[in-house]
Chain A
Amino acid sequence: MSEALLTATNLGVKRSDRWLIKDVNMALKMGQITTVIGPNGAGKSTLVRSLLKLINITTGSISSIKGLRIGYMPQKLKLEDTLPLTVTRFLDLGRHKQHQLSPNLWHDLLHECRVEKLLAQPMQQLSGGETQRVLLLRALLRKPHLLVLDEPVQGVDVTGQVALYDLIGQVRDILGCSILMVSHDLHLVMAATDEVICLNQHICCSGHPEQVSQDPAFKDLFGAHRGGNLALYNHQHNHHHTSHGDIIDGQHHEDCDHG
């Protein structure tokens, strides 16, 4: 029932005698949200960029279904001040002749991403959160089968991060696309994720978020790399309970229906 959109087999990337990622096997299934987590320098971005064919891989192979359209939201956007570019023009650059959003869908997404009021603004004057929302909207313009988000909440404050993850979940529901997301924090994305891949050069563990968070490999990795794992865990846990409890439940039921 769930066909893989993109499959990576034995993926390895080596740069100057160092393996950035090695022996990665993964499949992105239709309609699923997959999150790659891992400490800094674990090769998360390398993995995403090799899946997007932005960098050359050393070993393994990547196969995808025919005509796979990917919407990509880069970690950040660095724009020269010398380039006069409004949000509208920036979005236009991402439009595709054949694969366009219907006017209704466009207005829905424009509204969801809260970009309407930004359209005439220069890209350089947007705040971090606004830039991320514009980038997300651009990634959606070609009606992607797969949305790839590399640390989508970077440079966004905590409230904004929760809102952005909410938005990503809503967008998935509207477009019905799969999502591959990179994050350094499992607990923030847990509610919205179907599958977690815990990466530290190789895949340490993977599976359903609750299952992964109990996995010794996961605890090892984040315990060892972060020291204050327990404190952080509690903090995030509280956060989830206060502002996100119902959403965790809703997501869970949905998963059960799927399964």
Chain B
Amino acid sequence: MADFLLWAWLGGLMIAAIAGPLGCFMVWRRMAYFGDTLAHAALLGVALGLLLHVNVSLAVVLVCLLLALFLSTLMHQRMIATDTLLGILSHASLSLGLVSLSLFDHQSIDLMSFLFGDLLAIGQADLLWVALACALVIVILVTIWKPLLAITVNEELAQVEGVNVALMRTLLMLLVAVVIAVAMKVVGVLLITSLLIIPAAAARRLSNSPEQMALLASLLGMLAVSGGLALSWFYDTPAGPSIVVIASALFFLLFSLPRPFRSV
């Protein structure tokens, strides 16, 4: 097996592993559209990173986090319906990102790789960063799992019981921002949400507890990455979309299973 394929596979596996549990939270908290908006804003992060000559991943995390905080403030004020707000900001940030990127020298920027990912371009150095980011996400996630689950079930109940709801929400957004920054390499900004949502939704059919669902989502995501890479390798299809195609196929396969599989 070629080295670059191995790096791509390892990177993809790690990202799918953390996308599993975070995707579950996005499904449980109905944040799919929210995640999409953040992912689109990632492109703006890329543009800013290039413009200001700072680390692109860092710029993406910062832009996503700022937008997430801004969004949750606006959503809290309820001046405008949430889906309208997300619809506006999602495409505004995507377009703003595309416009700013077009201002750069065309040769130096591979727009398609940002939009749809370029997993096969992951090198050893990238892999180290991905590993670090994934480790960070897992450590935080395990530490705050219970309060995070508590605010997902009912925020007011959790708050009365002493959970710092605002902190938990912010941490969750931070984690989503980090995952978006690393997952951008795998499937690109346009498809990130699918890597988060589809394995989680597919796992629901087989799970009896939140932890089981999170773990299964990771495994299904890893399966999708492996299958997608294989598809890409043997049939020369684009890697990112191939992964999403396999993930969707898994979802529909599990969805058509008879009900007895699921008891809770």
Contacts and interface: CB of A to CB of B under 8 A. Distances in A.
Interface string A122-155: 1000000000000000100010000010000000
Residue of A53, A79, A89, A96 with most partner-chain B CB within 10 A? A89
A105 interface: no
B152 A54 contact: no
Given A82-B27, A83-B210, A54 B160 contact: yes
Nearest to B146: A93
B223 interface: no
A52 interface: yes
Given A89-B209, A122-B264, A83 B152 contact: yes
B160 A70 contact: yes
Interface stretch (B44-52, B122-130, B200-208): B200-208
A93 B30 contact: no
> Which bracket fits the contact residues of A?
20 to 34
A122 B28 CA distance: 15
Contacts of A74: 154, 156-157
A15 to B, nearest CB: 11
A86 interface: yes
A85 interface: yes
Interface string A63-83: 000000011101001111011
A84 interface: yes
Interface residues of B, number: 27
| Interface SS of B by simple majority | helix
Contacts of A148: 160
A84 B213 contact: yes
B255 to A, nearest CB: 13
A94 interface: yes
A72 B156 contact: yes
Given A72-B157, A84-B212, A93 B28 contact: no
Contacts of A138: 157
A49 B29 CA distance: 22
Given A90-B153, A94-B157, A85 B264 contact: yes
A92 to B, nearest CB: 8
A44 to B, nearest CB: 15
B161 A94 contact: yes
A71 B208 CA distance: 27
B146 A86 contact: no
A89 B160 contact: no
Contacts of B201: 82
B150 interface: yes
Contacts of B213: 84
A77 B263 CA distance: 21
Nearest to A73: B157
A93 B157 CA distance: 10
A96 B161 CA distance: 8
A214 B207 CA distance: 56
Contacts of B207: 84
Given A82-B28, A84-B212, A86-B208, A93 B264 contact: no
A77 B153 CA distance: 8
A54 B264 contact: no
Contacts of B157: 72, 74, 77, 94, 138
B203 to A, nearest CB: 9
B160 A52 contact: yes
Contacts of B55: none
Interface of B: 27-30, 146, 149-150, 152-154, 156-162, 201, 204, 207-210, 212-213, 263-264
7 contacts: A72-B156, A72-B161, A74-B156, A80-B27, A80-B29, A82-B28, A86-B208
